Structure 1
């Protein structure tokens, strides 16, 4: 395959970022687009010099286009499941934004279909790509901090807090998003903790909160009830026995986009943050130094992952490593569901007790 032809579904801000990256990837061309917004479709289509018949308003028609080798889906959560299913049915490779689906029930349906008709697929948990987090993973795998005992993970943003008077956008709409900061930011924390530590979350206890219960309608300014969380926290135990402490909020004034993790092991501690994606703090006991010693490791950009070229490679039939599979996306959704149920029932929840897909697989 000389050239990989990509179709983009959804033309919002995140899609523009993906289009820039694909445009800079050798051997890849954006050959079709889809959106329900006529203005976005026209402006993007003109910019890419796409003919009229490659500017779709129907995602299913784009997926069925024989000229398109792979789909990139950048849409709100309530369309994730239908696009996933359509790609699986069509046998079309897919690069999709997290979370896997809006609800856990949708995730079960998608996984069962995928197991019948697997396709090349990347679920974009984008912080895996960060050079600093990749270095942490390598150091843990090489045994530099010994056995992992516990970690602290947080993802904080400020844009939803009171001083910003943020209106009722889709991320606050339960019918569109499913959960609030939990599914949006918390899913990243779940993925990063399991990916870096190398162990799945086994059980947890959680609390969810809606700090701002009403937000103004963007059109009328009338108050609208918010029925999703804007703060989530939980404690969890991993299958290897280690412990995790997690918090995420959209109401953390002073935090623009602060996703960070600190991992404590037998031999040392590692810390990295999106506040500087090229630095790792490495604390350990050094010979000749009283107490512990912290050094800052500078991580080059080429240690990060490049999901755009990786997607082109899997379309060509090559093997790639480091990216989240659909199965991992499902596992992430399973943990999200455990958080929701723990808060609802005010109880400890064993994650695999909720694993309907596992039960179905065994029963079948």
Structure 2
């Protein structure tokens, strides 16, 4: 049996509850400390997990400093990402953090410099890498079954921000907290999965960002608050190997609950993968005479996916080599660099080269 690993969780919102559920399924993992700004959330989750009151923290730094916490799982708004990353790096404490890496590229540069000086076991949760079908698609491409990839289409659509939903002004619409809107939230996944599946590197970007719903009601007063971040983003990418990518993401796509999908168009056929069915690939290829095409659905076993919570526990224990298929700090930094390039391309209304890392 694996030795027990003691975890502290920072942030107790909806996504954090999912992380907690997954951590509870990992053998030998125990959540011993919690942190949140909400006393109610601390009391509720603390009581359920039997976390003592003295280890229910209001400040992230206090949890990071807890000598009994061997690793930190951070699930917080974007404006706290850099401070938590820097705090864990300074303390030499392993961290499993949410994407995007930081709120801004300047913050990401500071974190990258600190990490390179004092590296720690660290995972960045680009969660769609973990899905069985996405893992199968990556392997399909790596084995050369698609041949050269000529172009790709990636989209990530949700509808919770649509006008008819009357969604109020939440932190994801607050530029000071989030940096960008749907670009950083959903677009970061699109950018990561495109390079992850293809193995290619984006070299040049064109972009258009827009705000479809320009005002949202304040949660308390109901008064309209201007929205200064995008809720729709589209961009084109030219990859270093010559492939071209088309991307779109929206919070205003009625009927799309969580629709993240990729189509890869290669010289030998077309491969499609989607969150709408994360246990299958759709493979279209030509007949031997090349006159027609065949579309085949390939079933993917659930165990083809990755488990980042088990991987994080293993890295803390140091009992096996780190799996390179998971995203690390360097991947998070590149993602932030590409997000910033999309913002620059939108402002310039022109194609912009991706800066050297």
TM category (shorter chain) comes to over 0.9
Is structure 2 residue 347 aligned with structure 1 residue 325? no
Residue in structure 2 matched with residue 140 of structure 1 by the alignment: 141
Distance 2:72 2:241 in 1: 36
SS at match of 1:36: coil
Q: Give the conservation status (yes or no) of the 8 Å contact 1:10–1:35.
A: yes
Is structure 2 residue 86 aligned with structure 1 residue 78? no
Distance 2:161 2:78 in 1: 19
Match of 1:337 among 336, 340, 346: 340
SS at match of 2:278: strand
Deviation at 1:53, TM superposition (A): 1.6
SS at match of 2:279: strand
Distance 1:310 1:239 in 2: 31
Q: Give the conservation status (yes or no) of the 8 Å contact 1:314–1:320.
A: no
Residue in structure 2 matched with residue 203 of structure 1 by the alignment: 204
Residue in structure 2 matched with residue 362 of structure 1 by the alignment: none
Residue in structure 1 matched with residue 103 of structure 2 by the alignment: 102
SS at match of 1:260: strand
List gaps (5 residues or longer) in structure 1: 359-364
- After TM superposition, the structure 1 = structure 2 runs for residues 1-364 of structure 1, keeping only pairs within 5 Å, are 2-287=3-288, 290-317=291-318, 318=320, 319-352=322-355, 355=356, 358=357
Deviation at 1:290, TM superposition (A): 4.4
Q: Give the conservation status (yes or no) of the 8 Å contact 1:269–1:282.
A: yes
Distance 1:222 1:85 in 2: 37
SS at match of 2:180: coil
Distance 1:321 1:183 in 2: 24
Distance 2:3 2:26 in 1: 13
**Change over 3 Å in CA distance of 1:265–1:40 after alignment to 2:** same
SS at match of 1:87: helix
SS at match of 2:144: coil
Distance 2:4 2:203 in 1: 43
SS at match of 2:236: strand
1:80-138 deviation line (CA, Å, top 9, x unaligned): 00000000000000000000000111001110111111111000000001111111100
Distance 2:253 2:340 in 1: 24
Distance 1:321 1:27 in 2: 23
Distance 2:260 2:243 in 1: 20
SS at match of 1:151: strand
TM-score (norm 1): 0.96
Deviation at 1:286, TM superposition (A): 3.2
List gaps (5 residues or longer) in structure 2: none
Distance 1:8 1:239 in 2: 39
Deviation at 1:287, TM superposition (A): 3.3
Q: Which moved more, 1:184-193 or 1:49-58?
A: 49-58
Q: Give the conservation status (yes or no) of the 8 Å contact 1:313–1:320.
A: no
Deviation at 1:321, TM superposition (A): 2.6
Q: Give the conservation status (yes or no) of the 8 Å contact 1:77–1:102.
A: yes
SS at match of 1:206: strand
1:189-224 deviation line (CA, Å, top 9, x unaligned): 000000000012111000000011100111111000
**Change over 3 Å in CA distance of 1:289–1:337 after alignment to 2:** closer
Q: Give the conservation status (yes or no) of the 8 Å contact 1:261–1:271.
A: yes
SS at match of 2:156: strand
Aligned residues: 354
1:18-75 deviation line (CA, Å, top 9, x unaligned): 1011101111111111001000000000000111121111111111111111000000
Deviation at 1:314, TM superposition (A): 1.0
Q: CA RMSD in A?
A: 1.1
SS at match of 2:112: helix
